A and B are shown apart, each in its own frame.
Chain A
Amino acid sequence: MPSGPDQTTLADNPQQDSRAFTALAVASGKGGVGKTMLSVALAYELSQNAATLIIDLDFFNRGLTGLLRSGKIIKDLQAPNLLPELNATNQALPGAVPNQAETAAAQQSAGEAPWQLVEISENLFNIRYPDLSTDDYARIENMQIVDLAQDLSDYIAYVARECGAHFVVLDCHGGPDRTSFAACKIAKTTLLISEPDRITLYGTLNFLRQLADAGGATADHDIRLVLNKVVSSFNPPFLLRFYNENIRSEFANKPLLAMFPMEEYLTKAFEKNALLAKVYPESLLARKTRVYIYDLLAKTEATHLSPDLKGLSKPERTITRTTLGREFILLSNNFAVAMIFSIAMILMAVAVVEENSRSILSVQTREMLRDFLEVFTDVPYFAVFGVFWFVLTLFRSWMQSLSRTSIFLARTGSRVRASLAAAAKAVVATPLVAMLGLFLGELERDWRYAYQEGFFVEALLDSDVLTLLIALLFCAAFLAEYYFYNLKRATRLRRYKRISKIEGIANGIAILLPILIGVPLWSFLY
């Protein structure tokens, strides 16, 4: 909800007094840019080594509250001072530990569910609170930002003490409202989320103006831009260049904090499980979050960061920061299909011309065209290459999709469906692996004969063998990548180590078994 400029400016940042917590605010100039997804990922990664509290400050939409419905209730909490009707019994000074029994009784007598501290995941806490009335919301929007920031800061300090949280993540409302400005004042750093399009950029810049009018954009406020939902038609070098040349000056000349691609499978999974960084620790969402946490906090908060995060090497950080995970065009299904069809169409056109132009083309030209067609029809390499290319791209996308499905299901507890997905993965993988086995069998037979006959080197350099070798290298590299991906996941997550190990072993068997069967079978048949 937009608000006009506030007449009061905040002389001091509430964060600057001796708080035990470090707050990070996640705000945006408009809604729907992915603040909540990034907030949860940020809070989860921070919670790996220090208790972390994530708070839904979007009192109006309450998207985060809707997502984090499950969790263990730790205790009842006092309602904040800024809601006096809900907090009738609280006569203590701001930030004082309240009488929980009295608070809860007052809230229940007022017909309200109590404010509660909920543990979402190990070390990760959330405040669960009832819907705010229109009067409450209007009161908050009419408060001076300085007072709102002070009240919120006091309340956060109280809840952080209750759960021992060192980090606090504030998920703000989408747009320039007073609560967001107050959150910016409380936070050590504000992440301003935007998308690379005209409408969102306008909203982002409008947020900055409104914040400056409200007295928030002082030199000690660290506000950083994060680009989210970047579609694949954008390149990282372009975005970095555009930011540095045009936008950087609006953010105190600080570098772009991060850019996140549009990962569609995450968007779909987010509705089912909010802790995406936990389910997909190797997703770009999780990896990039770890890198920007490193950039923001490695120097000042090193003791509170996990060893994994502190141990990120410079090359790893650089690569993760600059990648948007766009797949190489030659491995894209659409591109492979388009190319194969284009070549087929050209061949058909040439054949038609050759057939129907006896009176126009000379004999020599017609012969040339026929020879040209024979290159494609008589020599099978082009056809084999086309089929192999198509199968590879299709195999890759199917395996990727099935792999993500089985990981998600395995890690969210649906064992039967996870097993079905793993079985589907094996069905897709087997034909390619079987082909690999057959190739190996063929090679073994040829090489043994060649070695016995004394022309092993010549046989190795023979074009057929080289073609097979290239195919083998493709298969081996691709399957190895897939296999090690599983192993890496297994070492990353302690909690799911057992599941990952089983996955790794199952994949190893799926790869090795057809080869072990295929090689002797081929040798036996021929």
Chain B
Amino acid sequence: MLDTVKTVVDRIGVVTDQLLAGSIVGGIVIGGMGGALSSDDDLEHHGVIFFYIAVALILIGFSFYTYARLFSVSSEQELAFQEQGKDVLEDHRTKSQRA
């Protein structure tokens, strides 16, 4: 189960930069909408909720970015090297044992 979660995170992790960019843009847009709603007395409550959503989105983006950079794979190259590197090492160990 944990391996599956890790694999999924690894696969998502290769687009960490784009995810971070998306969360910041999304956060600014939703925050802006919150600001727009807040200008209307009747919708002020909804505006605050939008603002919280924006903050949460940006925080989630940064958290995932940090997690992927420190504990997971965070680029196509890393993923490729992780998979291909293990193949090469296996091949090396087989040849070494044969020798």
A residues contacting B by CB (< 8 A) are 196-198, 201-202, 205-206, 208-209, 212-213, 231, 233-235, 237-238, 242, 246-247, 250, 329, 335, 338-339, 342-343, 346, 367-369, 371-372, 374-376, 382
Contacts and interface: CB of A to CB of B under 8 A. Distances in A.
B31 to A, nearest CB: 9
- Name the residue among B32, B37, B73 with the largest chain A CB count within 10 angstroms: B32
Contacts of A198: 80-81, 84-85, 87-88
Contact of B99 (A196, A201, A213, A342): A213
Interface of B: 17, 20-21, 24-25, 28-29, 32-33, 35-37, 39-40, 43, 65, 69-78, 80-82, 84-89, 91-92, 95-96, 99
A243 to B, nearest CB: 10
Nearest to A196: B81
Contacts of B21: 335, 338-339, 342
B96 A212 contact: yes
B29 to A, nearest CB: 6
A335 B88 contact: no
Nearest to A198: B84
3 cross-chain pairs, A with B, having the tightest CB-CB distances, nearest first? A372-B36, A371-B36, A233-B75
B88 A205 contact: yes
- Name the residue among A196, A375, A382 with the largest chain B CB count within 10 angstroms: A375
A354 to B, nearest CB: 11
29 contacts: A196-B77, A196-B81, A197-B81, A198-B80, A198-B84, A201-B88, A202-B88, A233-B75, A233-B76, A234-B81, A235-B70, A237-B69, A238-B73, A238-B74, A238-B78, A238-B82, A242-B81, A242-B85, A246-B85, A250-B89, A339-B24, A339-B25, A346-B25, A368-B37, A368-B40, A371-B39, A372-B36, A374-B36, A375-B36
A235 B99 contact: no
A233 to B, nearest CB: 4
Contacts of B89: 201, 205, 246-247, 250
A371 B73 CA distance: 41
Given A209-B96, A335-B17, A343-B28, A375 B35 contact: yes
Nearest to B76: A233
A235 B76 CA distance: 12
A376 B25 CA distance: 13
B25 A375 contact: no
A199 B75 CA distance: 19
Contacts of A250: 89, 92
Nearest to A370: B36
Given A233-B77, A234-B77, A329-B20, A201 B85 contact: yes
B92 A368 contact: no
A372 B32 contact: yes
B36 to A, nearest CB: 4
Given A339-B25, A343-B28, 12 more contacts: A198-B88, A205-B89, A235-B74, A235-B78, A238-B74, A238-B82, A246-B89, A335-B21, A339-B21, A339-B24, A346-B29, A368-B33
A233 B28 CA distance: 27
Nearest to B72: A238
B26 to A, nearest CB: 9
A28 B71 CA distance: 29
A380 B32 CA distance: 13
B9 to A, nearest CB: 13
- Name the residue among A209, A235, A238, A339 with the largest chain B CB count within 10 angstroms: A238
B72 to A, nearest CB: 8
A516 B77 CA distance: 50
Contacts of B32: 372, 375-376, 382
Contacts of A376: 32
Nearest to B82: A242
A335 B70 CA distance: 20
Contact of A372 (B20, B33, B78, B99): B33
A233 B78 contact: yes
Nearest to B31: A375
Contact of B17 (A197, A209, A329, A371): A329
Nearest to A232: B75
Nearest to A210: B99
Contact of A237 (B43, B70, B92, B96): B70
A232 B74 CA distance: 11
Contact of B40 (A197, A233, A242, A371): A371
Contacts of B24: 339
Nearest to A195: B81
A231 B20 contact: no
